[in-house]
Amino acid sequence: MIQKVAIVGGTHGNELLGVYLVKKWQEFPELLHRESLECVALISNPAAVAINQRYVDRDLNRCFATNDLANQNLTSYEDQRAKEIAMQLGPKEQPLADVILDLHTTTSNMGISLLPSSKHPFNLRLAAYLHSLYPDIKICFGLQHGQNAPMLRSLSPLGYTIEVGPIAQGVLNADLFQQTEQLVHEILNYVDATNQGNPLSEAAVVTVYQAIANVDYPRDAAGELRGMVHPQLQFQDYEPLHPGQPMFLTFTGEEILYAGEAVVYPVFINEAAYYEKQIAIVLTEKQQIDLEKE
């Protein structure tokens, strides 16, 4: 039985879609009302929202590793917020919020992507249900998944990062705002129906993308950028990248090719916030999961 759902926005203060959706739901909480569950809407990083920046001291969505939450020496603004949020929604072993929806935007062309905390059967069934409603939705498992991950979603095994894009930082997009709002309502309907013993029908097989590696930009020995995402790869998130296809273009016009041996499906291509993390592209593998066998 899922008793409590937390909807979180503003984990990154300049990702406005989640900020304004959560503020709307705080103003009109009746919109989240469902018979069988309690919903809370929460702005996770209010100080970053106030200055329209990703974070104040450090990335809040990397502050939820179990060891960091327990470390009283970590006292940055975001480390303190993470501890407060973990008190409110966690702890990881037995979270107060059974389901967590953490709303993000990306500058990459990822459409609406659901990144679950784990491959828990509930998550796969929910993914299959959403996929049957919205054939374009993508289900993606990060390199760091499971509850040891440092993301806010890891407070619950039924936690999800919802990434929506492409949207520039500090900008709203009406179509994507409404699509995300509708998606959250469909998730609440699914949870409510499951609670009431009337599970909504799902597809038998779900396609997921599993992250396998991060790729950095070309850089010189001092770490200075030497190139950019190749124009043929820009905005091609979730499209197949074949061995020998171009990934980067250097400032002097030289192409750098994908040297792997298998077809991969890049995501977070040229994400603005990942330059500082030295990630240009996240490579994923496409997998089919048969729910009958789970």
Smallest distance, Zn ion to C-beta of residue 114, A: 14
Check residue 153 for interaction with Zn ion (CB under 5 A). no
Query: Closest Cα to residue 7, out of 29, 34, 40?
Result: 40
CB closer to Zn ion out of 12 and 138: 12
The helix or strand, by DSSP H or E, that contains position 131, with its residue range, turns out to be helix 121-133
CB of 223 to Zn ion, least distance (A): 24
# of chain residues touching Zn ion (CB under 5 A): 3
47 with 56: CB under 8 angstroms?
Answer: yes
Site for Zn ion in 81-140 (CB under 5 A): 104
Give the torsion through C-alpha atoms of 122, 128, 134, 140, to 10 deg: 80
Element (H, E) at 127: helix 121-133
Q: Are strands 4-9 and 99-105 parallel, antiparallel or unpaired?
A: parallel
In the bound state with Zn ion, the residue whose beta carbon lies nearer, of 5 and 162, is: 162
Quick one: 163 or 192, whose CB is closer to Zn ion?
163
We find the least distance from the C-beta atom of residue 15 to Zn ion, in angstroms, to be 5
Does residue 12 interact with Zn ion by CB under 5 A?
yes
Half-sphere exposure of 125 (CA within 13 A, CB side): 14
User: What are the structure tokens assigned to 73, written together?
Assistant: 């020496």
Instruction: Give me the residue whose beta carbon is nearest to Zn ion.
Output: 104
* Shortest CB 12 distance to Zn ion, Å: 4
Shortest separation between residue 110's beta carbon and Zn ion, angstroms:
11
Which residues make up the interface to Zn ion (CB under 5 A)? 12, 15, 104
